[in-house]
Structure 1
């Protein structure tokens, strides 16, 4: 009898202790202090002037789903590093690591890949698979990429550095550089603009020359950096798998291995994907190839065939016919020179 009573008391004691621990954890997670993160302007990705900005839209959704109080600031690139060092901001929200020292940061997992291709008016660019294939060539590139350890180490390429995305594309339009190094998504947006203007579109290198990605970079001085990163990573994983990335990214189809079988699956969402959208345009968010074994996931529900997935989607004009996220008024002069 005494043993049973003692066992009961111990059991209740353990339950009470667990209750206290869980309550403390829940309290600590739900009361993460507000954070301020910065990034430099990056056309179609990051902006604060009303222009389309995929990353602003995406992160606002992520932070809302994660119940994180985060303010996003867009600032000049020259001030970004010093703002983190002096504690004016807690870190960066569109951090791209191309060989820089990141020891002062806690980094999230990559939430959106940045794949850099060589693109050109000349279809022969499809023969380019490695940087040495561009040896001796003049190649336009933005400073955000050129001024990094990775690209500074490439000595045999004549890089034509440019302060903005527009200036880099202008080098190509004016035939001052036969090649341009840019992101897959930026090249896609420029091709949408060209196609809508009945112009020949850009050609891509055979494969990406650089694979990196966008991450949160939180200063290690921030007391709740670890909890913020963990909650961010978990929210990103869930949102990617159920198609919550498609709308803010303005992409009909994404692809990712969602079940760990080594094969990427196609991810769509009824908020933006239409039954007529071409799955060949799917943007990979984990670099995993698709195959005949790929599933089709719509609003978090998996289908084994494309026809089943299409039946679950609204009808309508494909997203491929939309306007480019690049400003047509700004880029009109490039189209006239094409």
Structure 2
């Protein structure tokens, strides 16, 4: 019979071995604690995304969402030309403000839309209010930002004379200089320009009868990323909760939002005591799900349901005179544009 002889280790050898194993386990734990954060990128988008201290709704919003969801995410703002390639090559784990307008997203795992984007045709002229479809703009010159123009959806609309612009400011300037009678932009950007115009006693923009296109901002994570699915699920759950209890209002600088909170098919009004005042008009409420409101809509303040606006206003700061806030567009930057208006 074969026999193995065991040689007992000395006290010092056993001690050294124990310390070595302990050190390895400690280093593994430290490595896990300090694992690199998920890196998500986006290109600069005026009033939405910025890295230089300018107003940035999405930056402010997602910082709160990721903190509440306990997700370790680093946001990077970069030039649009480098964004797509950085995701494809793995230098970035995904995008935090992905807008799908017909691009191939088969390599990405997408979240639900956390902030809808309604694209309207706007103009100095009230005739735009009769526009309901893209063909109604046929043969007209329409200013548009490259971020929208350089997408499959808009490249197919050849009957419109698109006047492409590298930035929001350039697109607005086309309208101010009357080089393009129409502009296609997001509802929230048009609102900010109207605030700037109204505060300067200028005539405000007119909107098309309805949005000509609807998309939205999503989280887009590379499918190869470990735990990508669980990250998206946690993000979606956190967003849904924060939308319903009013935690989206302040980061978005919107006193009233609408969403079908109770699942009855009718959108409800959502406010928060941090930003919503009794004098804030329901007419400016921004929809988070595209569903219409009705006389049966409820009013949620800080997550608590009220059957009427009067009941909801009890929870709000009383303010008989509607307050006007400054535009998120920088007035100094837009001063020359206002002079041309």
- After TM superposition, the score normalised by the length of structure 2 is 0.89
Q: Which has the larger radius of gyration?
A: 2
Q: Please give the secondary structure, in 2, of the residue aligned with 1:248.
A: helix
Deviations 1:17-76 (A, max 9, x none): xxxxxxxxxxxxx99962010000000000000000000000000000101100000000
> RMSD value over aligned CA atoms?
1.4
Q: Which residue of 2 aligns with 1:11?
A: none
After superposition, residues 291-306 of structure 1 pair within 5 angstroms as 291-306=294-309
1:302-326 residue CA offsets vs partner (Å, 9 max, x unmatched): 0000001011101247775000000
Output the CA distance in 2 between the equivalents of 1:33 and 1:208. 41
Residue in structure 2 matched with residue 91 of structure 1 by the alignment: 94
Distance of 1:42 and 1:75 partners within structure 2:
11
Pick the aligned partner of 2:287 from 284, 291, 309: 284
Aligned to 2:239: 236
- Measured against aligned partners, the alpha-carbon deviations of 1:217-250 in whole angstroms (never above 9, x if no partner) come to 0001111110110000000000000000000000
Question: Do the aligned residues in 2 keep the contact of 1:32 with 1:224 (CA within 8 Å)?
Answer: no
Match of 2:181 among 178, 182, 204: 178
Deviations 1:74-123 (A, max 9, x none): 00000001111111110000000000000010000000001000000000
Q: Cα gap change, 1:318/1:107 in structure 2, threshold over 3 Å: closer, same or farther?
A: farther
Which residue of structure 1 aligns with residue 327 of structure 2?
A: 324
Q: Give 2:161's aligned residue.
A: 158
Using the alignment, how far apart are the partners of 1:117 and 1:39 within structure 2?
23
Q: State whether structure 2 residue 121 is matched by structure 1 residue 118.
A: yes
Which of 133, 136, 153 is equivalent to 1:133? Answer: 136
Tell me how far apart the structure 2 counterparts of residues 231 and 33 of structure 1 sit (CA, whole Å): 19
Partner of 1:49 in structure 2?
A: 52
Q: Is the 8 A contact 1:252 1:269 kept in 2?
A: yes
The whole-number CA distance in structure 2 between the counterparts of 1:75 and 1:226 is: 25
Where does residue 221 of structure 1 map in the other structure?
224
Task: Please give the alpha-carbon distance, in whole angstroms, between the structure 2 residues aligned to 1:81 and 1:320.
Answer: 41
1:216, 1:263 → 2: CA distance? 26
What runs of 5+ residues in structure 1 fail to find an aligned partner?
1-29
What stretches of structure 2 of length at least 5 have no aligned partner? 1-32
Alpha-carbon distance in structure 1 between the residues aligned to 2:311 and 2:92 = 47
Q: Partner residue of 1:12?
A: none
- Over 3 Å counting, the alpha-carbon distance change for 1:319 and 1:77 in structure 2 is farther
Aligned length: 309
Map of 2:105 onto structure 1: 102
The separation in 1 between residues aligned to 2:272 and 2:321, in whole angstroms, is 13
Q: How does 1:10-49 map to 2 (within 5 A)?
A: 34-49=37-52
